[in-house]
């Protein structure tokens, strides 16, 4: 069956009114924040929101404040027409697509930062990135007062930080995590995969393979974080185009590094492959 087109809204006041009216009528509203250039991973978030909510609002905003100097803000891939078709195909009701001025009025001066967590792992090399993310997500939670917000497990640190922000600042919104969607060879889908040249794309499987190796070791009884990290490094070093930025083995709530693996363990890594900076992770449940 043809689904109607998702309506594109660019004004904050209008999308807020639409959501408030839906809630007044007793509807459940789901929010899916994105930067666009959709792939199946994004669509999974939208599909789950569609299944669980009466009204689905996707936000599409390439947020300048989460890009550092020298990062890929200008080059970030954009295609609103294609995105709109894809979102419509999974039954999204509205796409909130504001301009930068609509989001950040002249003289904008207020920021939200989850201290500590925002400076480690990806935050160590991307100064200001998570402050930009939490600030824009806090704004989106206010502009689109939904009951549920959907985020990908792919961005594990972002998910932990947003959960912490929502808890610390008492946002009345449930944060829902959605599993990472992968290509057939295991590479996590990402809008940034479009930056990869063919030889880089082939080697980008290294990240998932390192995570598979970690899983294998843990399944075999290994509990030493250093040994797991060393084995992951060895896997990646077999791929000369893949340069590790970090491998982190930590708890999945406050991202505290672990020596011995137990409980819910996040194994996360970042690597540079050509022009792209790729991330991936796996959560291991250990008895
Ligand atoms: P982005 O547009 O890249 O900022 O991502 C928007 C949302 O989609 C975030 O919550 C991401 O974690 C999520 N996402 C990105 N890639 C994937 C993927 N491969 N699988 C599942 N979710 C994803």
pTM tops 0.85: yes
DSSP secondary structure code for residue 155 in this structure: S
What domains appear along the chain, each with residue ranges and CATH number? 7-178 (3.40.50.620), 191-286 (3.30.1300.10)
Measured in degrees and rounded to the nearest 5, phi and psi for residue 139 equal -60, -45
| pLDDT values of the chain reduced to their tens digit, one per residue, 287 residues | 567 899 999 999 999 999 999 999 999 999 999 999 999 999 999 999 999 999 999 999 999 999 999 999 999 999 999 999 999 999 999 999 999 999 999 999 999 999 999 999 999 999 999 999 999 999 999 999 999 999 999 999 999 999 999 999 999 999 999 999 999 999 999 999 999 999 999 999 999 999 999 999 999 999 999 999 999 999 999 999 999 999 999 999 999 999 999 999 999 999 999 999 999 999 999 98
Residues with CB under 6 A from ligand 1: 34-35, 41-42, 44-45, 151-152, 154-155, 178, 180-181, 188-191
Catalytic residue among 39, 42, 111, 129: 42
134 Cα: distance to centroid of ligand 1 (angstroms):
15
Distance of CA 274 to the CA centre of its chain: 21
**129 part of the active site:** no
Long-range contacts at 121-125 (CB < 8 A, ≥ 24 apart): 121/157, 121/246, 121/248, 121/255, 121/268, 121/270, 122/157, 122/270, 122/279, 123/157, 124/246, 125/245, 125/246, 125/270
Atom of ligand 1 nearest to the CA of 36: 2
Which of 45, 166, 192, 283 has the most ligand 1 atoms within 8 A of CB, as the residue to mutate? 45
């Amino acid at each position: 069956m043809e689904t109607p087109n998702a309506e594109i809204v660019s004004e904050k006041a209008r999308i807020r009114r639409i959501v408030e009216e839906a809630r007044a009528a007793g509807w459940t509203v789901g929010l899916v924040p994105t930067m666009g250039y959709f792939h199946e991973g994004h669509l999974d978030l939208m599909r789950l929101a569609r299944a669980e909510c009466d009204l689905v609002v996707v936000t599409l905003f390439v947020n300048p404040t989460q890009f550092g100097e020298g990062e890929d803000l200008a080059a970030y891939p954009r295609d609103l027409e294609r995105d709109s078709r894809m979102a419509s195909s999974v039954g999204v009701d509205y796409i909130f697509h504001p301009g930068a001025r609509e989001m950040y009025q002249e003289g904008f001066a207020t920021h939200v930062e989850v201290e500590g967590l925002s400076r480690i792992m990806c935050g160590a090399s991307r100064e200001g990135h998570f402050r930009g993310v939490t600030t824009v997500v806090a704004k989106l939670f206010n502009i689109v007062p939904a009951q549920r917000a959907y985020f990908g497990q792919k961005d594990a640190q972002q998910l932990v930080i947003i959960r912490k922000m929502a808890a610390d600042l008492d946002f009345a919104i449930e944060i829902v995590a959605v599993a990472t969607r992968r290509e057939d060879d295991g590479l996590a889908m990402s809008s940034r995969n479009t930056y990869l040249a063919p030889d880089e794309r082939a080697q980008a499987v290294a990240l998932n393979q390192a995570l598979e190796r970690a899983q294998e070791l843990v399944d075999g009884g290994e509990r030493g974080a250093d040994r797991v990290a060393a084995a992951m490094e060895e896997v990646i070093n077999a791929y000369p185009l893949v340069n590790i930025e970090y491998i982190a083995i930590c708890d999945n709530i406050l991202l505290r590094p672990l020596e011995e693996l137990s409980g819910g363990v996040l194994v996360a890594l970042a690597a540079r492959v050509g022009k792209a900076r790729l991330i991936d992770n796996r959560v291991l449940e250990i008895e």
